[in-house]
Structure 1
């Protein structure tokens, strides 16, 4: 638990999840000490805290907030006027850019954000560098906010109505127990940051229903993903639980670990955070495009009603999300995150620990970003909510989008098409 009178730590944020952090913030004083040597990390944590406490109900909308805030910070810190203190200018610019974005998109957090901004600025020397940095940060934040108006990534647009197809073999239908309306259909209609079109990397169709691969996929989920599975080990169940939560939440700590070990300064850290989240917004857009282009039914529907040994009572370990199977959104996120982290920080890292709000008391240790992606593949099968084909296709889609974003990054930082 967080000690009385203090803000939740970043580990608390990751471990407790948004609802618990919201409760913690309700009683915590609105103060956080700014460390001049780590302004980027201070505002990284503030961004995570803000979204945990006042974020949107849709993950991609929260990813958008990260992307806008840190793209503005990266642009504002990229060049420094001649004759001014470089560090003071960049730190003021970063803080002002992230602050302006978060106050605009999460106004309920204004008091806390204002306090943190004052503390950051108080740690900098008075003078022209600080004043120019503040102005640059606010200007760039407003420019990016203006450019993203009406981009279709607000919660209402993200969950635009989807006309469910008539029942037919292979086609998605609402899934038990809630048989809820489809979600995230609107992502494929949204404006990406860098992709030329949401369909740019649309996947080839999933395995045919009469293929050996499809039969193998279904048999694997049936055996290992059932609520009452006798094939799934305790460790595998833990894996399914560990990766069940929001990908954005689960990857906040790995990115922070990478940043904290990076030798780069303020401007480069802002750029790294921006690239990560722009890639992940565009990945989520591309994911929904492929999902709703192929409309593949979920394993629970296939196993209960399909032609291969139907079992109307089969139930997955975890409740199936309300959107099509192919590809897995968790693995597209994991694939993109792996690609960006590996490109920016190297494929391997010193050991770091990770916790999950869905698996309290469990800590896992990693030394490569690939390990996180591999576990995501297995977790969605073990949860009974995705096929291996959907998971592996997701990894590749995420990597493709991330590689494209990294290859075209210069467009982001020169006020290109965003």
Structure 2
């Protein structure tokens, strides 16, 4: 359900179904009668659908910035909702610098949809502070609608206790986020103090806009898990060379020929996975869309959904820190620069080359994370249809079927070759980098 496109009467009815406490005995104070796994995940699904819209329509939400907002929001949600199950496992002290304490009383009842609603509203108000007035109104309206409707048949003391708990958690998560190196990143995507390294073998701004380097210091940000940065860095890419017999020259020729001989289907694939800022919710938003869709289709409960989003949130956030560390340490030249200089001065790629170094591919890293984590949540052989772009008219957004999540990741990765913006190694090693990050996250939740 897309709440923002639904008539208000239907919205209220649907929210009432989600929040009605007939499915939970609110007056029962023991954990067996009032656990977060007895609530539906509709509040989560609707909020993350709104988050996609906010990411698309808010200035400065480039992929790394979007991944960060998604990361902290997913963790905040999980920290609140995991308290509502007997087998609770906080991420406090398990993630870098995270220490959470709150006034949670196991002997008292909580309304877990209210906890989720309060947390998600708070986090989006914070991260999307520069969004439009219309979007700020959407955040306020969604939070208020759930607040009012979840009050049906629920004691005021339970609601107030739930809101207090959620506010305590979000306040601590937001404070924690301010020390990671990326605070207010949407206002500083292109630092003026960064100068590209001199030498033709290194990255330079590219046509058509010749934008400066995007987030050149992002790889220095604090990851949620140190292992997702220091233990997953790939080998160096092939050495730069203008020798026509060299590996590097052959890789450049492969990109040149792929674009020159691109098929209609390959163009569709390139555009489907491009996920450019302003026209989409960026690659992290695409990941949100896929997970949201699968949670809804499989009727996952509130706790299951919060755990799934926390896993993906940690993985995607760390994917962009890890990948950006690789990018700005290698400073690898983009195909368009080399091809224009040494193969064909008039050549241009299918997609616009993004303003940062080539190696590794961010799409590949984050798609690898997505595939690994979704395979652990659902199944290695889970087939699904990706409906993310079904409403877009600027590209062919026809839903695409994948026989498993790894097939999805491989298509997302190879789309960057079809688009003419990445070499083979950035794609292949980027996937491996993402798979390794995903494995680290899965292990975290098993311990």
Would you call these one fold, judging by a TM-score over 0.5? Answer: yes
Query: Residues of 1 paired with 2:50 and 2:351: CA distance?
Result: 32
Indicate how the Cα distance of structure 1 residues 383 and 50 shifts in structure 2: closer, same or farther if over 3 A, else same.
Answer: closer
Kept in 2, the 8 Å contact 1:76–1:133? The answer is no
User: Shift in Å at residue 276 of structure 1?
Assistant: 0.5
Kept in 2, the 8 Å contact 1:68–1:141? The answer is no
Whether 1:117 and 2:143 are equivalent positions in the alignment is yes
Aligned to 1:47: 51
Kept in 2, the 8 Å contact 1:291–1:326? The answer is yes
Whether 1:100 and 2:122 are equivalent positions in the alignment is yes
User: Shift in Å at residue 55 of structure 1?
Assistant: 6.0
User: Shift in Å at residue 131 of structure 1?
Assistant: 2.4
Whether 1:223 and 2:257 are equivalent positions in the alignment is yes
The count of residues paired between Structure 1 and Structure 2 equals: 380
Query: Residues of 1 paired with 2:228 and 2:442: CA distance?
Result: 16
Query: Residues of 2 paired with 1:257 and 1:242: CA distance?
Result: 17
Indicate how the Cα distance of structure 1 residues 382 and 7 shifts in structure 2: closer, same or farther if over 3 A, else same.
Answer: same
Query: Residues of 2 paired with 1:299 and 1:394: CA distance?
Result: 17
Whether 1:235 and 2:289 are equivalent positions in the alignment is no
Give the unaligned 5+ runs of structure 2: 20-39, 85-104, 276-281
Query: Residues of 2 paired with 1:54 and 1:341: CA distance?
Result: 28
Kept in 1, the 8 Å contact 2:43–2:117? The answer is yes
Q: Please list the CA deviations of residues 134-186 of structure 1 after superposition, one character each: whole Å capped at 9, or x if unmatched.
A: 11111111110000114222134553343212223x32122222222111212
User: Shift in Å at residue 362 of structure 1?
Assistant: 2.9
- Residue of structure 2 aligned with 1:163, choices 195, 198, 202: 195
- Residue of structure 2 aligned with 1:57, choices 56, 61, 74: 61
- Residue of structure 2 aligned with 1:368, choices 391, 404, 407: 404
Query: Residues of 2 paired with 1:408 and 1:387: CA distance?
Result: 32
Kept in 2, the 8 Å contact 1:152–1:158? The answer is no
CA root-mean-square deviation = 2.8
Between 337-346 and 289-298, report the one with greater CA deviation.
Answer: 337-346
Whether 1:201 and 2:232 are equivalent positions in the alignment is yes
User: Shift in Å at residue 405 of structure 1?
Assistant: 2.5
Query: Residues of 2 paired with 1:404 and 1:353: CA distance?
Result: 25
Indicate how the Cα distance of structure 1 residues 56 and 277 shifts in structure 2: closer, same or farther if over 3 A, else same.
Answer: farther
Aligned to 2:106: 82
Whether 1:138 and 2:167 are equivalent positions in the alignment is yes
Query: Residues of 2 paired with 1:140 and 1:375: CA distance?
Result: 38
Whether 1:126 and 2:148 are equivalent positions in the alignment is no
Kept in 1, the 8 Å contact 2:227–2:440? The answer is no
Q: How does 1:246-395 map to 2 (within 5 A)?
A: 246-262=282-298, 264-306=300-342, 310-356=343-389, 357=392, 359-360=395-396, 362-395=398-431
Between 104-113 and 375-384, report the one with greater CA deviation.
Answer: 104-113
Query: Residues of 1 paired with 2:363 and 2:325: CA distance?
Result: 15
Aligned to 1:415: none
Q: Please list the CA deviations of residues 377-399 of structure 1 after superposition, one character each: whole Å capped at 9, or x if unmatched.
A: 22111111111111111111111
Kept in 2, the 8 Å contact 1:354–1:364? The answer is yes
Give the unaligned 5+ runs of structure 1: 10-26, 412-418
Kept in 1, the 8 Å contact 2:336–2:421? The answer is yes
Kept in 1, the 8 Å contact 2:64–2:317? The answer is yes
Query: Residues of 2 paired with 1:341 and 1:300: CA distance?
Result: 34
SS at match of 1:185: coil
